[in-house]
Structures are given as C-alpha cells and as structure tokens.
Structure 1
Amino acid sequence: MAGISPRVAMVAGETSGDLLAGLLLDGLRAQWPGVASMGIGGPRMAERGFDAWWPSERLAVHGYSIELVRRLLGILKIRKQLRTRLLADRPDVFIGVDAPDFNLGLEADLRNSGVKTVHFVCPSIWAWRANRVDKIRAAADHVLCIFPFEPELLARHGIAATYVGHPLASVIPMQPDKLAARAQLGLAPQDEVLAILPGSRSAEVAYIAKPFFQAAALISKARNAIKIVVPAVPALRARIEQIARDCGVLEQLQIVTGQSHQVLAACDVTLIASGTATLEAALFKRPMVIAYHMHPISWRLMRGKQLQPWVGLPNILCRDFVVPELLQDAATPEALSGAVQQWLDAPPARLDALHQRFTALHEELQRDTPRLAANAIQEILA
C-alpha cells in the first residue's frame, strides 16, 4: 500500500468510540492524506471527512422491554446491511472501534472473506468474560490496545497486538490547573470541594445516584462549608435533579451540565461510579471513592465472571487497592460518607503517595496514539 491511500471502513459506537476513531483518523490522514473512510461514526469522525452511512447513535441501546427489543432488532438490521455493503465493495481494512458485541462478529465475517481487520480497544478479557478471547482471535488480524499489559496477554492466546497508549492521557494535562477550574465553576481557592459523578448511563444513575446523594447529605451535615459539585450528562440532568430533590439535597448541590473534566480538576476528592470516569479522576490525580450498584441478578452474573480482585480501573492498572471500592451492598450512604471523609481528613503523606502513583500511571499511558495506531495499520496493509 506504499504511496496508495487505502479505503478504510470503520464502526464506532457511542461518544467514547467516536473520540477514539477521530484520533485514529488523524493518524491515518497524516500517513495517507487521501485516505477514504466510511461506515458508522459520529461527529468527531465526520469532522475528519468520514462518510457516515449510519450515525453512531443508532448503535446505542436505551430503554426497556419492547423498546429495547426494537432497538436491538434495528441494530441487527444495520449490521446485516453493512456486512452486505462491505462484502460487495471491500475496503482495504476494516477497523472496529470498541462496541465488541457489534463489531467482533462483523470482523470475523469480513476477515473470512479476505478483508484485513483491526479491533481498537481490547475487550476487558483481563477483568471478566475471558471466553471472549476466542472471538477476538477469530475476528481480528490485529488489536490496538490502550493498556500496556494487554499485548502480552493477547500474545499468549495467539493474537497480534500493539500498545498505542490511552488517548485520555494526552487530553488531560499532567499538572491540572485546580485554581483555574475552580474559577470557571465559581468556587473559591480555599473551598473544600467534593465531586460526585453518578455515571453517564440511565441505568447507572438509577441505581447509584440515590446512595450517592444520601451520602452527600451526611457529608454536608458533618462539614457545613463543603461544596458539592455534580457534572450531569445533558440527557440525564433532569433525572439527577429529581433524585437529588427526592433525597432532600438538591439545594446543597451545584449541578452543572457536562464539564466533568473541570469538576475533576477542581475537586479535592470525588465519589464516583465505576467506569472510564475513574481513570479520568486518576489522571487528574484526585483521591476517589469508587462505588457501583446494579440489579442483583446482573451483579451475581458479573461476580461469577470476574477475574481480578479489583473493579475500578485505577486499582486494576496499579494492581493494588490504592483507592477504596464500595460495591453493591457495601455501597451504603454511611460507608460512602465515611470513605470520602477519610480522604478529606487524610494526612499530606497519604495524598502525596497517591499523587505519585497516579502521575506514574499517567506517564505510562501517555503515548502518541494517532501515530502508533496508524503505523500498526500500515504494517498490516503492507
């Protein structure tokens, strides 16, 4: 493919996939200015000349019962149409960005037909669902990994992979400007600030927001001057406000739309739902209490497939309980409140040690992701 711009088909689901795919397209365009890209994507990809046959939001699953069934049927229809179109006019490479339930089966079909396939972001086989490794091996010629330990793990299963760094590590500054973030949010330099992040999905908010806000009430009672800031996904702001109102703490909270990075930069500690946001908090070098709660049946199923003692990404990457995790029945308002206040009252030596761990983690994850990913794809095409 030297000197010839490839045709690249891609599928990215959700906002995070659109972000990753946008960075990858930056690298591909630097490598091949005339690269053509098409498939399923979002606004960041479109800004880079991506031809979206369907918008990535069509892959999002929300709602329950009959609405959920309709959405799933619609997604299956899109995948079938996309497969037919790609097999009829084959790209030089197909890149599935996250969304493994949608992408892995599609990748396997395309690979069997002779199309080179890449999967961007290794599914969390190191955390749970280890049986998915067989699907990855059948689907992908190559995996682009965002965590440094993943290529060696995949190699043990006969899967080629390249570590390209985590994009968030380049987006978040090594030394966040706490005072500037506070000024943006109307907070004073001397304020004691707690950030509460109850998740970005409706189901997460439904299960975790109530104990979070009940904990906020206890913390506010014990520390009258504390400022509590909640960044809310725009679509969930009304729901979050209602839960806070039901818990009797709406007037004690500063709820802002979006701005999660400003809130994390500004806070002294965060009470946070397990997920990618915990890694963001670690990159901002903030003490945190990680919590999660879900339907009891889902919890039992997940626990049965869990492969590591940790759930939060900072703890998984540090291979240690560097921050507390309060999960399911342990996530009581009293326990959450107590864990948060332990950080607020922590001696400087404990805070400095955590800052050093998170700084080392940040340095390990910070790589030139667009260039490394594009180089790996160039080798596959060569």
Structure 2
Amino acid sequence: MVAGEASGDLLAGLLLDGLRARWPAMQSMGIGGHQMQARGFEPWWPSETLAVRGYLEVVPHLRRLLAIRRELGDRLLQERPDIFIGIDAPDFNFGLEARLRTAGIPTVHFVSPSFWAWRAKKVETLKRSADHVLCIFPFEPALLAAHGVPATYVGHPLASVIPLEPDRAAARRQLGLADEACVVAVLPGSRGSEVQQMGARFFAAANTLLRSRPALRFVVPAVPSQEAEIRRLADTAGLGARLQVVRGQSHTVLAACDVALVASGTATLETALYKRPMVIAYHMNRLSYWLMRGRNLMPWIGLPNILCRDTVVPELIQDAATPAALAAALDHWLQARDTAPETIAALEQRFTALHLELRRDTARLASDAIEKLLAG
C-alpha cells in the first residue's frame, strides 16, 4: 500500500480494518503513516514523504520522489505481493501501479482522481494503471464505466467514523474549552507547502476577528510534522493564549468548534460531516495557480460545494484569500450563529443529507471488491 499525507493515511487505516477482518493473517507494507502503523502496517517510508502539492512546489522534491518510487517498485516486483493498493496520491501511485500491473500484480486505486472536477485527462492514466477503482462518491462508478474503468462505490469511510450528531460538549471537555466559549477551528492544511502558504493568512484573519470579538477562542489541530511551524506562525501573529495548538485530534477540534476556517481538501468534507459552518480557502504559488486554474471543470473547488452542487459555504481562492476577506466571511457565520440560527440549521440539514448519502459499510464493500478481484 502507498498512502500520502494525513488524509490518505486515515483512509488507508480504515481500509486496513476491513482487510484484516477478512484476512487476519494479512501482512501490509509500503508507504504509510501513524494510522496505518497502528493497524500493523510496516512503513518502508513515512506518508509525509509524499506530502507535496502543486507544480513548482514539487520540483525541489521530484528527483527524490522518483527515486523512491523506482526503489519501491523494484522491491515490490521482487517480493510479489498478492495485491497493491494505492491510496489517492495519483501523481505518485499511477506510475507505480502501471508498472506493477504490467508485471502481473493486481492493482487497486482507492479514491478516484477528481477527473470530473478538474483533471479530465487523468481518467485515461487511471485506466492504464488500476485493475479496479474504489470510489468514495456515488456518481463516480458510472462515469468511470463510460471510460471502461471497473469501479465500485464503497461510500466514504469518514462518513461511518464521524457520528451523525457530534457531541460538542464532550469534545470541549477533552480540549479544556468552556461550554459557553465561541470557538473557531483553524485548519491550514497538512502539507508543509500549505502551512507556509496559508498559515500566516489564517492567523492574520484570526487577529482581525479578535479586534471585534475579543472573547473568541481559536484551536488548530496540527499534523505532528507541521506542529513546530504552526506554533511559530501563531507566535509571529501574536495570538498568544487565545490560540490553542493541539497535536492531531482534528476530529475532536471540529466537533468542538462553532465555525471553521479550512484549507481546501479532505478536511472540508470532514468539517461538513461534523455539520459545522466553514470558510474554505486556498492559496498557492502564483505560477502553479495559473497552470491549474484552466483545468477546473466546475465552479467550485471545495468538496462540500461540489457534492451539494451549490455554493453552501464560501470559497476564497488565491488573491481573494486575504486576511480581511477571510475574517469577514467567518464573521458572517458568527453573526448568523448569534442572530439567525435558522441559517445554521439549514446548513446542518444539507450536511446531514450528504452524510447519509456517503455513509456505507466501506470496509466491507472495499474488501468484497478486492476479494472478487483476487478471485478473478
């Protein structure tokens, strides 16, 4: 298995639960993180190895990543595993999957690349790379079938892990937050490049909000590899004791908060499943953004808006993601919390419907699909 960054590690860990229930003596190895290791996974490299996003951002790491992929492929071809499962990370996994598949090793890709949103050409690469695709969104198998790619909808694992009715009070007790406090979750991303691009903006927005709402509390769930940098940026922003940095615990933070400021990615879906109002933001290297913007096939980049087919939460991208604009968008939700609770309730209803649509027995459905592939 190969899983990159925190979200891939989480998805792979949940999948490993189902695989181990089906095959108790299973051995798993490759590239993975803490969640996978907790299930007995043997990491040859840590998942943080692949935590790079963008075009220019990947250039300094490209030689090392290609060398790791080549070395990993050589080792897998020598050891001949029963199956290879790539968890997201398409730019790394597709080349590896194609090489293994050509050599007769069955390959599964878990999480279809969002070719329907902005990577239309990726579906042809996927067709050459994977024997089967495990899809986390219900509309994807039919789209893939039209391109001749076998796929199975398995639901989104997070929808089964996250409760339909999160316990805000219990989460606040765990984090030492008062029941009456107004709490803003700040999630600037799990990759180093994301934290560098958005951390300062997010914390400056927090400072702006504090001028008009001095009682606000901010909480940042930090990926361990990024915790020191997040603390440095928070200290530079002068947030002091009004911002709490915790190691991991992103789900606890989302359960505890009233509103969230979130970098675009899997964390936006997690926030939606916790039924929390949010502001989605993203900023990257200017040239990388210019190269990517022409590929967008939808008017949104945030998963909650894409899945709801509507702008249910604001998105502030690139130059629009200024600290002042981020603060204003957050303040809109905070005002609704105080004066228009029906607005918050309507959003919670949309997110509950989305949660129910994505909730399936993912581990079992994925294991069923993998068993059929192995038997065939």
Q: TM-score, normalised by structure 2?
A: 0.90
Larger CA Rg, structure 1 vs 2: 1
The reply to whether residue 230 of structure 1 matches residue 220 of structure 2 is: yes
2:364 aligned residue: 371
What is the count of residue pairs matched by the alignment?
Answer: 371
Note if 1:358 corresponds to 2:351: yes
Contact residue 52 and residue 191 of structure 2 kept, 8 A: no
Does the aligned pair in 2 maintain the 1:61–1:68 contact within 8 Å? Answer: no
Q: 1:28 and 2:16 equivalent?
A: no
Paired residue type of 1:35: M
**SS, match of residue 278 in structure 1:** helix
* Of 177-186 and 346-355, the range deviating more from structure 2: 177-186
Aligned-CA RMSD value: 2.5
Mapped to 1, the partners of 2:181 and 2:253 lie a distance apart of 13
Q: Distance in 2 between matches of 1:155 and 1:290?
A: 31
Q: Aligned ranges for residues 5-44 of structure 1 at < 5 Å?
A: 10-44=1-35
Q: Does the CA contact (< 8 Å) of 2:51 and 2:191 recur in 1?
A: no
Q: Residue in 1 aligned with 2:307? A: 317
Task: Measure, in 2, the Cα distance between the counterparts of 1:24 and 1:190.
Answer: 38
Q: Say which SS state the counterpart of residue 188 (structure 1) adopts.
A: coil
In structure 1, what is the Cα distance between the partners aligned to 2:347 and 2:211?
Answer: 27
- Mapping of 1:110-189 within 5 angstroms? 110-189=100-179
Q: How far is the alpha carbon of 1:243 from its aligned partner?
A: 2.5
Shift of 1:65: 10
**Inter-partner Cα distance in structure 1 for 2:184 and 2:225:** 23
CA deviations 1:133-162 (Å, max 9, x no partner) are: 111011111100111121111111111101
Percent sequence identity over aligned pairs: 64
Tell me which moved more, 265-274 or 12-21: 12-21
Query: 255, 259, 266: which is aligned to 1:269?
Result: 259
Distance in 2, matches of 1:241 and 1:379, equals 47
Kept after mapping to 1: 8 A contact 2:162/2:274: yes
Q: Residues 34, 288 of structure 1: CA spacing in aligned structure 2 closer, same or farther, 3 A cutoff? A: same
- Name the amino acid aligned to 1:16: S
**Secondary structure of 2:205's aligned partner:** helix
SS of structure 2 residue aligned to 1:265: helix
Aligned equivalents of 1:49, 1:181: Cα separation in 2: 28
1:25 is displaced (CA, Å) by 2.7
Residues 293, 327 of structure 1: 8 Å contact kept = yes
Give the secondary-structure state (helix, strand or coil) at the position aligned to 1:20.
helix
Aligned with 1:326: secondary structure? strand
Q: Name the CA distance, whole Å, in 1 between partners of 2:152 and 2:307.
A: 18
Greater mean alpha carbon deviation, residues 237-246 or residues 149-158: 237-246
In 2, Cα distance between equivalents of 1:299 and 1:66: 11
Whether the 8 Å CA contact 2:56–2:287 is kept in 1: the answer is no
> Is the CA contact (8 Å cut-off) linking 1:241 and 1:250 kept in structure 2?
no
Which amino acid is 1:308 matched to? M
AA at the equivalent of 1:352: A
The separation in 2 between residues aligned to 1:61 and 1:13, in whole angstroms, is: 9
Cα distance in 2, alignment partners of residues 105 and 257 from structure 1: 33
1:165–1:193 Cα change, 3 Å: same
Render the CA deviation track for 1:149-198: whole Å, top value 9, x for unaligned.
21111111111101111111122111111111122222222222222222
Give deviations 1:233-257, integer Å, cap 9, x for gaps: 3333332233233333334323333
What does residue 339 of structure 1 align with? 329
Distance in 2 of aligned mates of 1:65 and 1:271: 25
Matched, 1:288 2:281: no
Q: Following TM superposition, by how much is the alpha carbon of 1:309 offset from its aligned partner in structure 2, in angstroms?
A: 0.5
Seen in structure 2, the aligned counterparts of structure 1 residues 353 and 329 have a Cα distance that, compared at 3 Å, is same
Q: Return the letter of the residue paired with 2:341.
A: P
Is the Cα contact below 8 Å between 2:6 and 2:223 reproduced in 1? no
68 and 123 in structure 1: CA distance in 2 versus 1, 3 angstrom threshold? same
Cα 1:331/1:77, change in 2 over 3 Å:
closer
Q: Cα distance, 1:51 vs. partner?
A: 4.5
Match of 1:106 in 2: 96
